Amino acid sequence: MLIVKGVVLNNSPSDLSHATLGNIAKNNNLTNGSASVILNEVTSNRASSLNGFIEVAGQRADVVIANPNGISCSGCSFINTNKAILTTGKVTFSDTGAIASYDVTGGKLSIDKNGMDASNSYAVLLADAIAINGTVNATNAIVAAGNFTFDNGSGAITSAGKAATARQYVYPEYSIDISNLGGIKANSITMVGNNLGFGVRNKGAIVANTSLSLTSFGSLTNEGSIASNGMMTQVLSAGNFKKYGKYILE
């Protein structure tokens, strides 16, 4: 999947008028009404590059892009979406056909210099390794890395218990790595590094307006800034907690 300028996902069972595209014919596949979730599951052996807008025409919906081979976003934005879910995990379904969970066992997700704009959406980033080199703007955000299962209904994250090798303990790797050009800005932010011995590192700016939860099953290193005005702030690390940057926790 390659999105350079943008794409419109037709979620209307009736003809509609779009502000810039004009008249759009109804989606004949929506025989039971608009979809609440639009799943784009990539089956090729290439990573997905998202460099433009993704807009839902018609009723708002969750947009899921799942590619086990990796996803990069640089200037991707989400319009008229409830949730913007980018994952390298396998999508599993319930008996009713709804998405039950995402099982992550590999794949890299990167947010590059032009960032991700989900400022009117809930951003959910799920991958084995996540590199953030641009700013993620969202209403709320969940960032989870490593091998784990994410329950789509409850949002519960269950680690698969993958552990670092002896070499990786000596030369640490990071399951979530935010560069000095990267950052996350949202009302509530939940970040979880699930692999034992793999750290979470922030060199950029993490800004939560209401609540912030950072959990690392390895080391937690802050060389940038972390700020939260929330009453439910928690920062947990199973390994070393290395504090070089700024903290503003109220």
- Quote the radius of gyration of the chain (alpha carbons, Å): 18
Q: Give the Cα separation of 221 and 177 in Å (integer).
A: 10
> pLDDT by residue (tens digit) across 58-75?
999 999 999 999 999 999
In this model, does residue 165 exceed pLDDT 90?
A: no
Average pLDDT over the chain reads 89
The pLDDT of residue 203 is 96
**What does the buried/exposed string (b/e) look like for 10-48 if buried means 16 or more CB atoms within 10 Å of the residue's CB?**
bbbbeebeeeeeeeeeebeebeeebbeebeeebeeeebb
Is residue 219 within 8 Å of residue 198, measured between CB atoms? Answer: no
- In the chain the domains, ranked by start, together with CATH numbers, are 2-249 (2.160.20.10)
Is residue 117 within 8 Å of residue 77, measured between CB atoms? Answer: yes
In this model, does residue 2 exceed pLDDT 60?
A: no
The pLDDT of residue 124 is 98
The pLDDT of residue 96 is 92
Q: Give the Cα separation of 147 and 153 in Å (integer).
A: 19
In this model, does residue 133 exceed pLDDT 60?
A: yes
β-pairing, 53-58 vs 6-11, is parallel
Residues 6+ apart with CB under 8 A from 142: 122, 123, 124, 125, 126, 155, 189, 190, 191
Could you tell me the pTM of the whole model?
Answer: 0.92
